[in-house]
Every structure is written in structure tokens, then in C-alpha cells.
Structure 1
Amino acid sequence: MHTMEDIIRRMSSQGLRITDQRKTLAKLFSETQGYLAPKEVYEYMGKSYAGLSFDTVYRNLRVMEELGVLEQVIFEDGGKFKLHCKEHDHHHHMICLQCGMTYPITYCPMEQTAVPEEFRVVKHKFEVFGYCKACDQEELAQGGQG
């Protein structure tokens, strides 16, 4: 799912009404490689839609996540959204904290997790945060610790 048309088709096939605002959201996420904070999306949308509320933007992000169009990851500074991976198999991510580059983890750690009988898992998330090679070298060159 990369193009704006693919995103709109997915939303429509899931029964979501396609408004101009949702088309704009589809365009934004089709053109963005990394993660976007809700505030960034709100500021982008506000340029085209005067009087748009933050709640409306956030509600649309959540709906798009529920439909599998977007995925949300919780960073230290809050939740951010990005276009859902085009990979269909269940997987998790390693995420660069600097540039947002993501790498798939091809096996699921839940397979190695001992779940107590009295607990029923309904969903899970697993992300590993660090620095990609380019960002790590940049950090080291600036005197940081990698």
C-alpha cells in the first residue's frame, strides 16, 4: 500500500466514507516515509482546512489504524503513525530513533513467551528502538554515545 489511490481504495473497501480530508490524509501518508505525530498531521491538515479540530484529525488517524491502513508506535515522546507495512505476514519492527527507518523482525517473540493459563492474549506489539548505521555514525561523529 504505497499510493494515495491504494490507501483510498483500502479505506473505501472497509466501508469508510471518502471525504476530502481523508483524501488529504491518504496523500500525506503516501508521501511520508517515516512516522508522523498527530500534531504534525494536524498542522499539515490545518493549512488546507481552516477550523479543523485536533480531535477530528486524531479520530481519523485512529479509524485508519483500526482499518489497517496506518500503524501506531509509541515512542518516548508519544504515539506516532505511519503507513501500514506492505508485508502481509505478522511481524514486528526495529526502529531508528533518529530517522525513523524501520526494519522488520521476521519472527514473533510471542512464540517464545510463556503465557499463564489464566491470561488470554488478544493482541500484542513488540518494537526494538536503536539507531540505523548512518544515524549511529552521525551520532558518534558528533561526540554522542552509540
Structure 2
Amino acid sequence: MNSVKAWEILKANGYKKTDKRERLLEMFNATEKYLTARQLLDVLKMEYPGMSYDTIYRNLATFVSLGILDETELSGERHFRMQCDAKEHHHHFICMDCGDVKALELCPMEMVGQNLHGYEIENHKFEIYGKCPQCH
């Protein structure tokens, strides 16, 4: 996902282009790492002194619901990143210190599915958490 595609999705769903939304998308577009609302607020408060958590979380919730951002929880805090553009199905390793992400080509669902006889799996998300080589 990039900010051009994100704006297409937002406009198609009736959302107007605002400076704050534009800046949020620029921040996500500039990194592959997961970011927290606190990290976003620290940067945006310098440019928009009246910026609040409510404004950030409202926009993040919109972006997640429209499939623009991925969301995960690390150490009890929600983290966000631009949704992958990968055409191939994959999962992620996420560094709990710096938020770095590494794609995993392996999917454990085949093994897990063997233990769920009679259950219908509609979707899944698999993430591994730890420390990247730079943070280790």
C-alpha cells in the first residue's frame, strides 16, 4: 500500500483529504516499521499543536477498517503500519523494540488446520514477536 492507493480508498469511501490525514499517511509511507499513536503524536504535535490522541486514533481506526493499515498489539499497546502490497500470502516477524518487520514465507495453517477437524477457518493472522538482529 502507498499513500496514492490509500487516498483512492479514502475518497471512494467519502473521506476528504485533510492535512492531518495526509501527514499521517506520509509517516506510514516513509517506514515499513510499526508505529504507535504516541510516536505519531510526538511528531504531529510539533506541526499541529492542537493535535490529540482522539484525532489520531479516529483516523487510525478508519485506516484499519478500510484496509489501509495493519494493526497489532505489542506489550499492551496498539501498533500500526501500512498494509502490505505483497501478492503472496505471508506472515511477519515483528521486533518488539524497534518495530522492524520481516516477512515470513511460511504459513503454519496447514499444520494448525489438521487439529481443527470439522471447523471452518475463515481467516487467520500469524505473527512472531521478538528482537531483530540490530536490537538483540
Kindly indicate whether structure 1 or structure 2 has the higher relative contact order, using CA contacts under 8 Å at least 6 residues apart.
Answer: 2
Paired residues of 2:34 and 2:99 also in contact (CA < 8 A): yes
Deviation at 1:22, TM superposition (A): 1.0
- Kindly report which structure 2 residues correspond to 1:20-59, keeping only aligned pairs within 5 A, or say none: 20-59=19-58
Compared with structure 1, are the counterparts of its residues 110 and 21 closer, same or farther at alpha carbon in structure 2 (3 Å cutoff)? Answer: same
Aligned equivalent of 2:135: 135
Compared with structure 1, are the counterparts of its residues 132 and 39 closer, same or farther at alpha carbon in structure 2 (3 Å cutoff)? Answer: closer
Question: Where in structure 2 are there 5+ consecutive unaligned residues?
Answer: none
Deviation at 1:105, TM superposition (A): 1.9
**Residues matched between the structures, number:** 134
Deviation at 1:74, TM superposition (A): 1.0
Paired residues of 2:36 and 2:79 also in contact (CA < 8 A): yes
Q: Structure 2 length normalisation: TM-score?
A: 0.79
Superposition RMSD in Å: 2.3
For the pair shown, the structure with the greater C-alpha radius of gyration is: 1
- Kindly report which structure 2 residues correspond to 1:90-129, keeping only aligned pairs within 5 A, or say none: 90-113=89-112, 114-115=115-116, 117=118, 120-129=120-129
Q: Percent identity?
A: 32
Q: Structure 1 length normalisation: TM-score?
A: 0.75
Deviation at 1:75, TM superposition (A): 0.7
Deviation at 1:59, TM superposition (A): 1.4
